[in-house]
Structure formats: structure tokens, C-alpha cells
């Protein structure tokens, strides 16, 4: 807006306002004291934490600005390893998805020869189901009908068990679906939901915003972040004794931030626990396509549950998927779905009403979910390109997962479980006592201090373990495996050099 | 999934589960009792109301299915006048918006000759600002930087006052921005926010979900739904005496469901009231482009506030805009923005954190907001087509607003204020006492009964006034002005014929 000048307030003639003086005079009010500060701002908002975009990433954004000017740093840009945002680190999109999205946005392109026949057919089918308004109209609050069918087909093929359109809700990313279920589940301030530690912090943040209680259970780092039944029982009993009514349990597999793929037998234990304790299971399965080890396969909680005997078949389950992860990585779409199983009619009705208050999920995200659950099959014009893009990216992620874990384990006092899946490593680091003291004297957690040091020293932005929770006295950080593969040697060296420098400085 | 058979639960061998029998035997639990039913479902969810997709629209969807089979009805499809969803009723999209969206979704199209140069330039600018990941990556939690700048420019041109990127948050539709502010504002269960009656029911629904109190003030139907200072004072005092701490006031202009455009002098009164009573103003201005009368112009609350004397310049204001309304009508994008003014640094920080918990608004919606706030100007290749589309649609809406109001006023015992703006008429209807009795004997509000009758008789789906609130003893319904102009005579006749039939039946 160069050259254009705008009024600043206070400068205009106040001719209209004389009458207010007389109205106002009956109220003694010399100045307006802001509402939204201190205790005027919701406590639960002030208390909610979301470290993925917290202190360290905020400093990284500042640093990025400084680097544009005359920075003395030994690096010229920030490597953002704080968010699972693949395309921002040049991991390419799947062409087919983008083609279908463009066709739905601008249907005139259906006449163009630039697009393969299967992408056009896909777009036509969606546009027909969405009705006259196409991608420009609100859909049914559960989502466009044919896309919910795509999700049903996808789940049925994956699990070998029936799914139903009435149990599918298309959402603005998985976060939105998780938020819907949490709202339904929190019936009072004494409601608790069990969440893993370390945990993707969305769960605790949502519970905090709803005024409810996270009931934390520790994952067992020594057994590759498995879930221990004894730990679940302990956490449950302690919270129950303190008056909390526990109504749900969250599990994340493949794990975020921990990268493990939970064993089928482990999932069975959790389902049995939920059965006995009468809990709704919230299964975060957004990384279901991201498994890098040949020894393990993703298995959905729904399939495990359906494989179990009859008495388990009423256990309530909500499972979440996303357009943002897998090899699609379409974070910007904010597409996702929520599948519920064994919900009462009443709960389904309330869920639908809740979804309808926000009208519907964005259509672009819905269409992305359609492409993800109904991608090109063998024999279709787009298949070979799709398959090449898929396997290139997934095999590269697998190599990166391996490299990062090797690098972390090569660092003194640092250990890192195998990155079996998802997009993260969560190494445990030893922080010298003197560094812990310096950190605390600055009012910082030692791992935040370490992550800030890493950022300043090397330009690599990670999230401190305290943002996800960790056993007292242990320190971790979460890094994504997403920097471009060709940059990996350099990024790994950055981690190692900083670690060496840090230990030298503080072990003295 | 024809021909494919899936397992049903219970049918598989239970070999894995013998050990659970022994674990489980220590807990006496013969069956799993569902968590999510009755009081296990959040009270606030059960109590939240959202009539726009409530009983009448739900029946309309059923009826639509019935019409596909062998229905005896005198109409062959449902005319959905319940939601402001323009494109679903064949009101066309703006081509330029769709072009830019397609280019951002599939940047290979930037090489195609199918697109005008200005749309390409627009897309390139957004993709550059969004960074490597383009439309496929999470953006900053406030939105893509250049799109926030577009919004700032738009507001500055509109108001002649400064705006700032730091005060702009791009959101998933206006609903999402409103939800952010409500979360920030509700600090306890005794928090109240003033909402108009009739009201777009999102506000009360959000307050209910947050466990807070809507403090209702009546709009004055006799003065074209204006806001009366005496009514504000009365509502405020009564609630304050009952222990409610009132922290905000919602106003909607142009009005939903009421279609009025508030006068500048009326806005000044409300700002003065907010100043004296220390309230955050929530200004729902999503219909700012939808003004149909030559006598009135939309004026933003921010401009009115900035025009006022110095002492008002600290009054906190949040204003909401959307991609879904105006002549764009891009409901499916779920694009919107929130501008805050006079917020403390602390409030801004908390707002940013809150936005970051959901990562960011969907990029497709953000890009739509860019096109809406930075549309083609005179001299650009897309200008004439854009201008033609804009003026065709807005002038047609104006004619439809006029027709609907004329038709409503022609009906016996029915009166309808001028539809000055937005997308709705909210006529007041007289319902014969005998019809009211029949309604109540069926456990229905009389206006719900009327709307259901209209639906069954004529296939026209409207929302009963009770879904928005109305003075006790009065009855209304909300209809959109969105059916295609060529269908208007038929739709108006449907309203009139049903009304006549209804009066005959119940006055008889």
C-alpha cells in the first residue's frame, strides 16, 4: 500500500458524538479497560500448551527473519524439523491428487487434454455427488456422499470388515475429528481421558480447552515405546481415586512423537482394558501408510477389535485419518476422516449435530481424502506415475528414518529407538548437570534450553521432549525425518556437531 | 463394493484371546456398557441447538429420498431455502476465483494458455509466499503471509483506516474465527455474551458448548430489526443481577436471519454501550457485499469505531468475514478471516496459540479469501468477465430480495421487513390458534409445525423462527433469497398457496 495514506484514529471531527457525552455521563467511566487481558482471558486457553509451534519454533521464525538481513550465523537458512509438514521441505505431492483437485475447482478443465481420463472420471464422479454447487457448496455435514463411500471402501479393503457411510465423518484434518469426539466425551470437569506420554500435544490441549483432565500413561521407552497394561492400570487407579471419571483412552500408532508401530497383541491388551474399564478408544492412525520396517505392518484398531471375540464387539471406537501424512502429505488441504464404531444412535445423532454447527469440512480437503482412499489402480492411465511417486517417497522416508536413527545413536549419551513408522525420531539425550543448572537459572526446561542451543548453533529447529511429556529426569527432542534426502548428511552432521559442542561446553 | 464380502464380527476363531479370559477374570464385567449415551454424552453438546440443519431440514432430506422413489407429492424435488448455500442453487461461481484455485492446486497449469495472465500472476504470488510446499503445506497459523496482506489492503481500502497483518487470522470459514474468539472470551461458566434475537444460532451454540451464557437482546422488528439501546441496557442489567459477567456483544450486519443493514448511528450507540459496559464487540460482517437497497451502504464497525473520538479507541473488536457469502458464495472452501482491533499483546499471543493448535486454516479457503480481497481491477485481463459476473449476480439477488418481500407481504397475516441485505427474508406469520393447539399436541413449536407443513405441501424447506429466537407469541420463518431467479414466480406461488391452504384448514 505504498503511497496510500490512511487515517489514524482520533483525528476526525467528533460531530456525531456530542449526544454520547450526555448518555455516558450517567455512567462513571473515564476509560475503557481491556477485557481480554489477565484473568479476562479464558484460563483454559492460557493453560493450553502446544509446543509444536511453541517457544523454539517461534524463535526459529525470528531467526529466519534475521538471516535475511545481516546475520553472523554459520548457516543461511533454518531447517524446520518441528512440524510434520512434508511438502514444505520439498517432498513432492502426488500428481493425481493435484489433478483431481484442480478439475473439481475449475470444471472447465474437464474439456482439456492436459488431464488423464481417470482423473477426469474421478472429478466427474465427485462433482455429480456434490450436486449443483460442486466444490463451491457446503456438503452434507458428514461430507460429500460419494467420498464417504470411498472411505468406507478403503476401510473395508484394509480391514476385511464392514464399515458404513453413517459412521464416517469427513473433517478439516484429523484434528477436527479428534476435537468432535473430545467434545462429545467430556461431560464434566471431572471427566478424564487417558493419553500417552510422550503424546502428540493436541490431545492434552483439547482436554485443557474443554476443562477436562488428561490421565497420563507412560509408554515404555525400553520396549520401543510399547503400551504396558500395568502402567494403564496404575494411571487409571490413581486418577479414579482422585475423583476423575475416565471415559476414554487415546492411542497413537504409528506413534507421534515416538515412531513405534504397536503390535497386534498390544492393541488387543488395550481393547481388553477399554472393555473392562468401559472406555471409548480414540485411535490416532494418521500415519497408517508410514511404516518403514519389514518386520511390522500397520494393523488398525478396528480390525483387531473385530478379530476379537463377541464380548468386545460393543467397545466404542473412534479412529482418525488425515490427508496430511502418508506419502500424500497434503497438509494444506486440512482433509481428514473420522470413523466411529459401536456408537449408540444417540451418540451418532449428537455427533452429526456437532458437525453441522460448523456446516461441513472444506471440500478441497474432502476431495483430497477421496483421492487418498480411491487412488489409481493397476491398468488405469495414472497408475504407473502414481506408483512411482508413492514408492519413491516411501522408500526415501524409510532410508531417512534409518539414517536419523543411526546418527542419533552415534551421539554420546544419546539413544534412539527404531523409527518404525510415522515421520519422527524421538531420541533421548543426556544433558550435563551444569547445562541443566544454566537452563533452570534462565527459567527454562533443560530440553528447551538444548533445543534452543541446537537452533542457534546449527539452524535446525526441533521440538523439546517436554512439549510431548517424558519421564521425569529424562530429556528428548522430536525431529521429523522430512528434510530432503540429499540434505541428510549435512543435517545429521549439524545434530552431531552441536551435540559435541554442547557436551564440551557444559561437561567442561 | 458389489460382489465383495466382508467378515462380520464374531465369526473369527478366537485363538488369540484365551489369555484375556484369565486377565479379565479379576474384573467382573459381563458386558461392555456404552459410554456415549444418556448422561455419558456431554450435556453441553446435547443442549446445543443448530436449527439451520435441524428437524425441518432433516425431514427435507428424507423427503428428497422419498421423491426418488414413488412419491405421491405434487412436486418432484425439494427447494432448499434453509441454508445460505448459493452455488447449491445454481448461483454460479466467479470464474477468476476458480482459475486461481486450480492454478495453485496444480501449478503445472501455469504453463497452460487456458488461463488469463492476471490469474496466473495471482497464483504465482501466493505460491511464492506459501513457500516450497505451496498449497500442500501447512501455512503459518495465522495464514499465508501475502494473503494476510491482501486482507489488510482490502480493509484499508474499505475503511480508510490502518489495519495490520498481525491482527489478521485466516480461518476455516467465519465460524472458525467466531469460535476462536468465543474460546478466548469465555473465562468461566458465569461468562455471558450478548447475542441478538433473532440470531444466527452459531453464537448460542458455541456459548452452550463452552458452558457460557447467551445474554439475549431483542432486535426491534417494528424499526426494521434495529438495535435499541434501552433493550441492550435492560438485557445487560437483568443478567448482571443474576450473577453473569458479561464480556462481549455480538452484532450481525447485514443481519442474519433478519436482512437489515444497521445504520451508522446505531453502530455508534452499540460501540458507546460496549465502551461503557466494557465489552468486546464481535461484528459478524460476512454479508458486507450483500446490500440491495440504494439508501443504505455497508459500513464496518471498525470504521465507525475509528471515526469516533479518542476515548473509544481502545474498545476491543473482532470482525468476521467469509468466502461463503457476497457474490462469491464459495461455501465449500470454508474460507474466512478474523480481524481483531485493540487487542492486548497478551490476547493476541493467546489467540495465535489457539489458532496454532489446529495448525492452520485450509489453504484452498485461504486462497479464496485472497481472490475475494484482491479481485481483478480495471485494465486487467479478467476484469470485464469478473465485473459482469459480479453485477449480474448482485443485481439478481436484489431483484429476488424485492420479490420475496413483496410476496410475503401479500400473504394474509404475514409481514416482512425490507430485505436490505444478506441472503434472507424473515417474515412474521400469524398462525391460527387451532393450528397452534395441534402443533403443541404434537410436541412441536407452532412455527416448526408451520414449516413442516410448508415442506410437505410444497417441497420448500425453510427454517422456523424459533431456531433463531423470536419474541414470545410471534412466529416467523427464515427463507433464503437464493432459488434461481427464473424459479422465483413458482417458489413464491408455493409459499402463497400453502399459506392460503394452511389458513383455510386451521381458521376454518
How does pLDDT run across A140-157, given as a tens digit for each residue? 999 999 999 999 999 999
Report the distance separating Cα A222 and Cα B110, nearest Å: 52
Partners of A139 on chain B (C-beta within 8 Å) are 332
| CATH number of A47-90+390-507, picked from 3.20.20.70, 3.90.245.10, 3.90.1150.10, 1.10.569.10 | 3.90.1150.10
More confident residue, B23 or B96: B96
Exposed, middle or buried by CB within 10 Å (0-12, 13-18, 19+), for A358? buried
The band of A188, judged by pLDDT with boundaries at 50, 70 and 90, is confident
Say which CATH architecture domain B157-361 belongs to. 3-Layer(aba) Sandwich (3.40)
CATH 3.40.50.720 fits B49-90+394-507, yes or no: no
**How far from chain centre, in Å, is Cα A45?**
19
> In this structure, what C-alpha cell is assigned to residue A117?
481420463
So what's the pLDDT on residue B72?
Answer: 85
Span(s) in chain B for CATH 3.40.640.10: 157-361
What's the residue count for chain B?
Answer: 508
Provide the shortest C-alpha distance from residue B364 to chain A (in Å): 7
Span(s) in chain A for CATH 3.40.640.10: 138-373
pLDDT per residue over A450-473, tens digit each?
A: 999 999 999 999 999 999 999 999
pLDDT per residue over B197-240, tens digit each?
A: 999 999 999 999 999 999 999 999 999 999 999 999 999 999 99
pLDDT per residue over B278-302, tens digit each?
A: 999 999 999 999 999 999 999 999 9
The band of A508, judged by pLDDT with boundaries at 50, 70 and 90, is low
Provide the shortest C-alpha distance from residue B450 to chain A (in Å): 22
A110 touches chain B (CB under 8 A): no
Provide the shortest C-alpha distance from residue B95 to chain A (in Å): 8
User: Cβ B365–A364 below 8 Å, yes or no?
Assistant: yes
User: Cβ A333–B363 below 8 Å, yes or no?
Assistant: yes
User: Cβ B50–A356 below 8 Å, yes or no?
Assistant: yes
Residue B320: strand pairing partners: B284, B338
B156 touches chain A (CB under 8 A): yes
Q: What is the mean pLDDT of residues B141-162?
A: 97
Mean per-residue pLDDT over chain A, rounded:
93
Out of A245-259, B5-19, B122-136, B227-241, least confident range: B5-19
More confident residue, B71 or A313: A313
User: Cβ A16–B268 below 8 Å, yes or no?
Assistant: yes
Nearest residue, CB atoms, B132 vs list A8, A89, A173: A89
Q: What is the mean pLDDT of residues B421-430?
A: 97
Q: What is the mean pLDDT of residues A433-440?
A: 96
DSSP state of A86: G
Question: For residue B204, what is the nearest residue in chain A, using CA coordinates?
Answer: A357
More confident residue, A29 or A407: A407
Grid look-up 480481524 returns B339
Provide the shortest C-alpha distance from residue B79 to chain A (in Å): 13
Residue among B363, B327, B370 at smallest CA distance from B87: B327
Taking the CA atoms of B173, B175, B179 and B182 in sequence, report the sign of the dihedral they define.
positive
User: Cβ A10–B314 below 8 Å, yes or no?
Assistant: no
B40 touches chain A (CB under 8 A): yes
Report the distance separating Cα A66 and Cα A84, nearest Å: 24
B136 touches chain A (CB under 8 A): yes
Is the per-residue pLDDT at A19 higher than 70?
Answer: no
User: Cβ A137–B357 below 8 Å, yes or no?
Assistant: no
Nearest residue, CB atoms, B187 vs list A39, A305, A347: A39
Is the per-residue pLDDT at B267 higher than 90?
Answer: yes
Partners of A36 on chain B (C-beta within 8 Å) are 184-185, 280, 316, 343-344, 346-347
The secondary structure of chain A in percent helix, strand, coil, rounded to multiples of 5, reads: 50, 15, 35
Say which CATH architecture domain A138-373 belongs to. 3-Layer(aba) Sandwich (3.40)
**Angle of helix B95-105 versus helix B117-130 axis, rounded to 10:** 50
User: Cβ A1–B153 below 8 Å, yes or no?
Assistant: yes
Q: Which of residues 306-325 of B touch A (CB under 8 A)?
A: 306-316, 324
So what's the pLDDT on residue B2?
Answer: 43
User: Cβ A36–B278 below 8 Å, yes or no?
Assistant: no
The conformational region for residue B120 under phi > 0 = left, psi -120 to 50 = alpha, else beta, is alpha
> Does residue B374 contact residue B353 with C-beta atoms inside 8 Å?
no
Partners of B10 on chain A (C-beta within 8 Å) are 309-310, 313
CA angle A258, A261, A267 (to 5 degrees): 115
Mutate to test the interface with A, among B62, B188, B324, B362 (most CBs of A within 10 A): B362
Q: Which of residues 461-480 of B touch A (CB under 8 A)?
A: none
Residue among A254, A308, A258 at smallest CA distance from A283: A254
Q: Is B142 helix (H, G, I), strand (E, B) or coil?
A: coil
Q: Which of residues 382-421 of B touch A (CB under 8 A)?
A: none
User: Cβ B34–A316 below 8 Å, yes or no?
Assistant: yes
Instruction: Report the C-alpha dihedral over residues B131, B386, B299, B351, rounded to 10 degrees.
Output: -20
More confident residue, A18 or B182: B182
Report the distance separating Cα B319 and Cα B337, nearest Å: 8
So what's the pLDDT on residue A364?
Answer: 98
CA angle B42, B43, B47 (to 5 degrees): 120
More confident residue, A72 or A291: A291
Report the distance separating Cα B273 and Cα B263, nearest Å: 15
Largest CA distance in chain A: 80
> Does residue A425 contact residue A408 with C-beta atoms inside 8 Å?
yes
> Does residue A137 contact residue B87 with C-beta atoms inside 8 Å?
yes
The band of A507, judged by pLDDT with boundaries at 50, 70 and 90, is confident
User: Cβ A138–B265 below 8 Å, yes or no?
Assistant: no
The band of B104, judged by pLDDT with boundaries at 50, 70 and 90, is very high
Nearest residue, CB atoms, B306 vs list A7, A136, A334: A7
So what's the pLDDT on residue A30?
Answer: 60
Residue A464: strand pairing partners: A477
Provide the shortest C-alpha distance from residue B506 to chain A (in Å): 33
User: Cβ A138–B88 below 8 Å, yes or no?
Assistant: yes
Beta-sheet strand order (sheet of A191-197): A168-172, A335-341, A317-322, A280-284, A245-252, A191-197, A213-220, A226-227
Out of B6-20, B272-286, B462-476, B491-505, least confident range: B6-20
Partners of B209 on chain A (C-beta within 8 Å) are 183, 357
Neighbours of B491 (CB within 10 A): 21
Partners of B179 on chain A (C-beta within 8 Å) are 358
So what's the pLDDT on residue B10?
Answer: 47
Grid look-up 389458513 returns B503
Report the distance separating Cα A94 and Cα A327, nearest Å: 8
A364 touches chain B (CB under 8 A): yes
A175 touches chain B (CB under 8 A): yes
Distance between the two ends of chain A, CA-based, in angstroms? 54
A487 touches chain B (CB under 8 A): no
Q: How many CA atoms lie within 13 A of B436 on its CB side?
A: 8
User: Cβ A362–B334 below 8 Å, yes or no?
Assistant: yes
Question: For residue B102, what is the nearest residue in chain A, using CA coordinates?
Answer: A102
User: Cβ A8–B161 below 8 Å, yes or no?
Assistant: yes
Is the per-residue pLDDT at B170 higher than 80?
Answer: yes
Is the per-residue pLDDT at A22 higher than 60?
Answer: no
Out of A258-272, B16-30, B83-97, least confident range: B16-30
The band of A8, judged by pLDDT with boundaries at 50, 70 and 90, is low
Is the per-residue pLDDT at A4 higher than 70?
Answer: no
Nearest residue, CB atoms, A331 vs list B31, B138, B187: B138
pLDDT per residue over B55-67, tens digit each?
A: 899 899 899 989 9
The band of A62, judged by pLDDT with boundaries at 50, 70 and 90, is very high
Mutate to test the interface with A, among B332, B348, B350, B382 (most CBs of A within 10 A): B332
A214 touches chain B (CB under 8 A): no
> In this structure, what C-alpha cell is assigned to residue A449?
534450553
Q: Is B463 helix (H, G, I), strand (E, B) or coil?
A: strand
Largest CA distance in chain B: 80
pLDDT per residue over B351-373, tens digit each?
A: 999 999 989 999 999 999 999 99
> In this structure, what C-alpha cell is assigned to residue A440?
533452570
Nearest residue, CB atoms, A275 vs list B32, B89, B279: B32
> In this structure, what C-alpha cell is assigned to residue A383?
497408475
DSSP state of A491: H
B10 touches chain A (CB under 8 A): yes
Report the distance separating Cα A463 and Cα B394, nearest Å: 50
Phi, psi of B30, rounded to the nearest 5 degrees: -85, -25
Span(s) in chain A for CATH 3.90.1150.10: 47-90+390-507
Span(s) in chain B for CATH 3.90.1150.10: 49-90+394-507
Is the per-residue pLDDT at A237 higher than 80?
Answer: yes
The band of A214, judged by pLDDT with boundaries at 50, 70 and 90, is very high
Amino acid at each position: 500500500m505504498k503511497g496510500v495514506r490512511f487515517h489514524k484514529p482520533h483525528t476526525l471531527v467528533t460531530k456525531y458524538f456530542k449526544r454520547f457525552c450526555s448518555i455516558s455521563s450517567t455512567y462513571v467511566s473515564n476509560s475503557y479497560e481491556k477485557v481480554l487481558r489477565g484473568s479476562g482471558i479464558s484460563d483454559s486457553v492460557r493453560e493450553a500448551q502446544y509446543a509444536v509451534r511453541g517457544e523454539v519454533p517461534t524463535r526459529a521464525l525470528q531467526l529466519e527473519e534475521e538471516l535475511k538481513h545481516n546475520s553472523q550465523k554459520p548457516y543461511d537458512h533454518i531447517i524446520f524439523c518441528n512440524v510434520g509438514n512434508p511438502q514444505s521441505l520439498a517432498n513432492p505431492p502426488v500428481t493425481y491428487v493435484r489433478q483431481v483437485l484442480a478439475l473439481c475447482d475449475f470444471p472447465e478443465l474437464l474439456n482439456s487434454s492436459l488431464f488423464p481420463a481417470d482423473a477426469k472420471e474421478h472429478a466427474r464422479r465427485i462433482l455429480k455427488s456434490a450436486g449443483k454447487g460442486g466444490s463451491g457448496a457446503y456438503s452434507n455435514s458428514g461430507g460429500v456422499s460419494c467420498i464417504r463411500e470411498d472411505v468406507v471402501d478403503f476401510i473395508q479393503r484394509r480391514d476385511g470388515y464392514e464399515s458404513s457411510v453413517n459412521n464416517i465423518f469427513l473433517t478439516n484434518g484429523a484434528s477436527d475429528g479428534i476435537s468432535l469426539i473430545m467434545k462429545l466425551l467430556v461431560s464434566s470437569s471431572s471427566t478424564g481421558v487417558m493419553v500417552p506420554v510422550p503424546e502428540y500435544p493436541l490431545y492434552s490441549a483439547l482436554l485443557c480447552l474443554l476443562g477436562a483432565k488428561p490421565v497420563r500413561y507412560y509408554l515404555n521407552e525400553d520396549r520401543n515405546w510399547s503400551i504396558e497394561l500395568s502402567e494403564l492400570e496404575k494411571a487409571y487407579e490413581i486418577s479414579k481415586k482422585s475423583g476423575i471419571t475416565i471415559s476414554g483412552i487415546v492411542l497413537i500408532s504409528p506413534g507421534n512423537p515416538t515412531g513405534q508401530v504397536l503390535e497386534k497383541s498390544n492393541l488387543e491388551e488395550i481393547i481388553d482394558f477399554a472393555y473392562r474399564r468401559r472406555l471409548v478408544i480414540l485411535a490416532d492412525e494418521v500415519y497408517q501408510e508410514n511404516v518403514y520396517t519389514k518386520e511390522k505392518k500397520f494393523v488398525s484398531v478396528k480390525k483387531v477389535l473385530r478379530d476379537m471375540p463377541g464380548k468386545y464387539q460393543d467397545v466404542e471406537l473412534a479412529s482418525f485419518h488425515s490427508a496430511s501424512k502418508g506419502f500424500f502429505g497434503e497438509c494444506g488441504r486440512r482433509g481428514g476422516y473420522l470413523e466411529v464404531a459401536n456408537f449408540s444412535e444417540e451418540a451418532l445423532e449428537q455427533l452429526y449435530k456437532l458437525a453441522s454447527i460448523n456446516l461441513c469440512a472444506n471440500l478441497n480437503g474432502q476431495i483430497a481424502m477421496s483421492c487418498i482412499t480411491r487412488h489409481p489402480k493397476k491398468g488405469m492411465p495414472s497408475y504407473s506415475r502414481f506408483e512411482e511417486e508413492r514408492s519413491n517417497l516411501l522408500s526415501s522416508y524409510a532410508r531417512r528414518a534409518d539414517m536419523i536413527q543411526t546418527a542419533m545413536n552415534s551421539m554420546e549419551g544419546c539413544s534412539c529407538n527404531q523409527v518404525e513408522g510415522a515421520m519422527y525420531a524421538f531420541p533421548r539425550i543426556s544433558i550435563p548437570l551444569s547445562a541443566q543448572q544454566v537452563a533452570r537459572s534462565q527459567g527454562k526446561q533443560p530440553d528447551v534450553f538444548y533445543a534452543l542451543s541446537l537452533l542457534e548453533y546449527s539452524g535446525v529447529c526441533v521440538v523439546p521432549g517436554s512439549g510431548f511429556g517424558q519421564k521425569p529426569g529424562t530429556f528428548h527432542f522430536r525431529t521429523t525425518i522430512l528434510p530432503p534426502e540429499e540434505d541428510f548428511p549435512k543435517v545429521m552432521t549439524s545434530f552431531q556437531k552441536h551435540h559435541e559442542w554442547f557436551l564440551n561446553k557444559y561437561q567442561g
